């Protein structure tokens, strides 16, 4: 393999790497894909089990995944093991770096919430003066969103809102329950928009690179996937300075190997791609590689409420059930008093409030839970985090992973803008619940630590100026022209929308550009 | 977690034994949290009723457990006993509900019973 000349070497097989392979292989370009993890088989690798048959009754082995709050004992084996893949952070400023090292990456397990960014994000600086604009606008990316959404079969309802552009949807015509109608009516009084969730339906509950992108790429005969290949650095030609391949380590044998290609695409996930470039000592003439790390802050169960009419065993499907999505509504045409940008809310109804947040114990608690059964409303806040230079990752010379590759050190914290935004979210949501006639049982404005959303973005941002950005508007390195970085690290701002559709669209756009450059002989 | 409506309680589920095992293999801070919490529980019981918690009547125990009736707040309570009770209560409840006796005694709904799920086996682990 090391001697085989490939046109393009792609690191990573998740959403971004998968889309690059899908786009390039179908244009006849010979691709090699490296992934750090093993292939996964949903039949072979899963088994139906009762929680009491698990070794730890669903608690999982204590201390095993301290930063993966999404983990439970059923799914613990799919997350990257932190002892093999360590990272460090400032004491007291945790970063929850949640990783999946399997062919298909995080696209195997994402929540499938599928949104477009708008020019409120692409041209954010024009709107409020903070930070930087992207070097592209919504119009540049729209044709790619239009192609990606049908591949992922995104369901949603068209609304015509400028802050959340409509897509090519499987139209969601499902009726709203009475509870959702009441919530929407109360929200409307405060000019808060509510729509159906926009979600990739994929095929068979799976909307992954593994089933929607890689099969088509493999069918061309132009894609070779090498699993268990842990990339350690991008190599360059000493004379031209151009990339000529990637050094990687076999996960099991720990043998070091090298693969050559004319072009290298990094789609290893936001921070792994940046780590690879930092460890390679390239593409950083700007000095901003690793900087402007941001994500979206999350507050799950921001508010827990119940619909009184549905309590006491009276909940019916017509009365309560289903949910919705509130896109950003702050700082569009008016200004919030103590923060810029905005947040989104995802709510669901028809559940039972969590006993963790109810007072009481024993029979009194069980009676409460029986009374509230099926009558609940709960919402998650997803807030924009401002990109800031002083939130960054760097290489920690004192820490290496199981393959001897230097690990990342994180320095990231939220600022008053995020804290003030979180307070506004909980207060607003509580007010809407009260107006709808619901009883609020608990509320919180406390954010999870940075990283929890698994939407880490930035650190390899794009821009027109090579002095302040790592990539140009085509996701191409300013410094090393035959390196493209197609994952979330290229983001300049992230808004409050889940980023996967944007990552996929950027990767498709960059890959089409690359294919044209290769065809014309420019690369 | 008493037996309620025919459902197994914490003792039927051997929740104390299970938690003893779980805490025993937990990181040191968690073990210390439990050790301190249990000592505090007995200390508070002795101070108020002259005997350890396990010897209290139901009414006396309810007095010591009163912090569990306070409304939930995101930040842990300032009182270390209240903090311990909140965590331990959730652990006991979960250890009970996720036990075989509790599942066996749960009323059937005609659907797939709760507590059954798709378990991911280790995928090509490094030996």
Predicted pLDDT at B49:
98
Closest CA relative to residue A488, chosen from A273, A232, A213, A229: A273
Which SS3 state, helix, strand or coil, does residue A477 take?
strand
Residue to mutate among A57, A82, A445, A446, with most B CBs inside 10 A, is A57
pLDDT value for B16:
96
The count of residues in chain B is 127
Q: Is the pLDDT of residue B113 over 70?
A: no
Residue at B69 is within a domain: yes
Selected residues 83-122 of chain A with any CB under 8 Å from a CB in chain B: 84, 102
Residue B38 lies in a domain: yes
Tell me, what's the pLDDT at B7?
A: 86
Query: Is the confidence metric ipTM above 0.85 for this complex?
Result: yes
- Residue B21 included in any domain: yes
Residue B112 belongs to some domain of the structure: no
Task: Write down the pLDDT at residue B108.
Answer: 58
Average pLDDT estimate for A188-196: 97
B110 or A497, greater pLDDT: A497
Q: Does A435 score more than 80 pLDDT?
A: yes
Q: What is d(CA B18, CA A171) in angstroms, rounded to the nearest whole number?
A: 49
What does the angle CA A224 – CA A226 – CA A228 come to, to the nearest 5 degrees? 165
Show the domain range for B80.
15-105
Q: Which domains does chain A have, with CATH numbers?
A: 6-41+89-520 (3.50.50.60)
Residue of A nearest to B95 (CA): A57
**Contact at CB, B117 and A358, closer than 8 angstroms:** no
Contacts B66 to A, Cβ<8 Å? none
Query: pLDDT confidence of A351, banded at 50, 70, 90?
Result: very high
Q: Total structural domains in chain B?
A: 1
B109 has a pLDDT exceeding 60? no
**Surface-to-core class of residue B27, CB atoms within 10 Å of its CB (0-12 exposed, 13-18 middle, 19+ buried):** exposed
pLDDT at A3 over 70: no
**A-B contacts at Cβ under 8 angstroms:** 115
Residue of B nearest to A356 (CA): B90
Percentage of chain B with pLDDT > 90? Answer: 80
As a whole number, mean pLDDT of residues A365-369 equals 93
Which pLDDT score, from 0 to 100, does residue A329 have? 98
Q: Per the domain annotation, does B66 fall within a domain?
A: yes
Would you state the pLDDT for residue A263?
98
The predicted structure's pLDDT at residue B114: 62
Q: Taking CB atoms and an 8 Å limit, are B2 and A362 in contact across chains?
A: yes
Q: Does B123 touch chain A (CB under 8 A)?
A: yes
The reply to whether B19 touches chain A by the CB within 8 Å rule is: no
pLDDT digits (tens, 9 = 90+) for A71-83: 999 999 999 999 9
pLDDT at B59: 96
Res. A398: pLDDT tops 90: yes
Q: Are A32 and A224 in contact (CB under 8 A)?
A: yes
> CA A328 → CA A156, A247, A487, distances in Å?
17, 43, 24
Nearest to B99 among A48, A57, A444 (CB): A57
For chain A, give the mean pLDDT: 97
For residue B70, tell me if it sits in a domain: yes
- Note the pLDDT of residue A171: 95
Task: Name chain B contacts of A355, Cβ cutoff 8 Å.
Answer: 90, 93
Say if B61 falls within a structural domain. Answer: yes
Find, in chain B, the residue whose alpha carbon is nearest to that of A445: B74
Confidence of residue A205 (pLDDT cuts 50, 70, 90): confident
**Quick one: pLDDT at residue A500?**
98
The C-alpha of A57 sits at a distance from chain B's nearest C-alpha, in angstroms, of 6
Q: Is residue B64 part of a domain?
A: yes
For A361, name the nearest residue in chain B, comparing CA atoms only.
Answer: B68
Write out pLDDT tens, residues A93-140: 999 999 999 999 999 999 999 999 999 999 999 999 999 999 999 999
């Amino acid at each position: 393999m090391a001697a085989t000349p490939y046109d393009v070497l792609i690191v990573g097989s998740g959403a971004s790497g998968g889309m690059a392979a899908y786009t390039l292989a179908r244009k006849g370009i010979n691709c090699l894909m490296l992934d750090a993890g093993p292939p996964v088989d949903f039949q072979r690798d899963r088994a139906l089990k009762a929680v009491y048959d698990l070794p730890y009754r669903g608690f999982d082995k204590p201390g095993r995944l301290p930063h993966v709050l999404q983990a439970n004992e059923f799914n613990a084996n799919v997350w990257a093991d932190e002892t093999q893949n360590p990272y460090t952070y400032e004491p007291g400023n945790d970063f929850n770096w949640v990783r999946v090292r399997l062919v298909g990456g995080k696209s195997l397990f994402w929540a499938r919430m599928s949104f477009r960014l708008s020019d409120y994000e692409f041209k954010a600086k024009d709107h409020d003066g903070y930070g930087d604009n992207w070097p592209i606008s919504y119009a540049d990316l729209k044709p790619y969103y239009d192609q990606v959404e049908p591949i992922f079969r995104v369901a949603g309802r068209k609304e015509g809102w400028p802050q959340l552009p409509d897509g090519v949807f499987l139209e969601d015509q499902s009726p709203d329950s009475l509870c959702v109608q009441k919530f929407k009516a109360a929200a409307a009084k405060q000019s808060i928009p509510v729509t159906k969730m926009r979600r990739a339906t994929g095929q068979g509950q799976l909307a992954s690179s593994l089933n929607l992108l890689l099969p088509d790429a493999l069918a061309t005969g132009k894609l070779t996937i090498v699993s268990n290949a842990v990339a350690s650095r991008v190599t360059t030609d000493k004379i031209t300075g151009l990339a000529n391949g990637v050094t990687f380590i076999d996960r099991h044998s720990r043998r070091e190997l090298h693969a050559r290609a004319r072009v290298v695409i990094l789609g290893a996930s936001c921070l792994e791609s940046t780590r690879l470039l930092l460890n390679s000592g390239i593409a950083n003439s700007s000095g901003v590689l690793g900087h402007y790390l941001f994500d979206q802050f999350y507050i799950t169960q921001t508010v827990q409420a119940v619909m009184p009419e549905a309590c006491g065993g009276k909940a019916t499907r017509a009365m309560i059930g289903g949910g919705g999505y509130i896109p950003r509504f702050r700082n569009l045409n008016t200004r919030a008093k103590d923060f810029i940008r905005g947040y989104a809310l995802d709510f669901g109804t028809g559940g039972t409030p969590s006993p963790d947040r109810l007072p009481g114990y024993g029979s009194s608690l069980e009676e409460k839970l029986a009374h509230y059964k099926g009558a609940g409303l709960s919402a998650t806040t997803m807030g924009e985090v401002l990109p800031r230079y002083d939130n960054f990752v760097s290489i920690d010379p004192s820490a290496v992973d199981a393959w001897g590759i230097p690990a990342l050190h994180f320095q990231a914290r939220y600022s008053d803008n995020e804290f003030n935004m979180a307070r506004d979210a909980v207060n607003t949501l509580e007010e809407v619940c009260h107006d709808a006639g619901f009883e609020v049982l608990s509320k919180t404005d406390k954010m999870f630590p940075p990283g929890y959303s698994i939407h880490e973005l930035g650190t390899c941002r794009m821009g027109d100026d090579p002095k302040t950005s790592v990539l140009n508007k085509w996701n191409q390195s300013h410094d090393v022209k035959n390196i493209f970085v197609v994952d979330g690290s290229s983001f300049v701002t992230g808004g409050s929308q889940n980023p996967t559709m944007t990552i996929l669209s950027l990767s498709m756009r960059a890959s089409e550009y690359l294919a044209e450059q290769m065809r014309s002989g420019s690369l | 977690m008493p037996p309620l409506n025919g459902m197994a309680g914490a003792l039927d589920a051997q929740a104390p034994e299970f938690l003893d095992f779980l805490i025993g293999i937990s990181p040191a801070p968690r073990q210390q949290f439990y050790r301190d919490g249990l000592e505090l529980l007995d200390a508070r019981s002795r101070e108020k009723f002259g005997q350890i918690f396990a010897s209290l009547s139901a009414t006396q125990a309810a007095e010591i457990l009163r912090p569990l009736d306070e409304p939930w707040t995101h930040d842990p309570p300032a009182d270390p006993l209240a903090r311990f009770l909140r965590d331990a209560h959730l652990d006991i409840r979960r250890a009970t509900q996720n036990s075989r006796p509790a599942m066996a005694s749960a009323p059937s709904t005609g659907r797939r019973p709760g507590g059954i799920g798709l378990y991911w086996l280790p995928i090509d682990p490094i030996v």
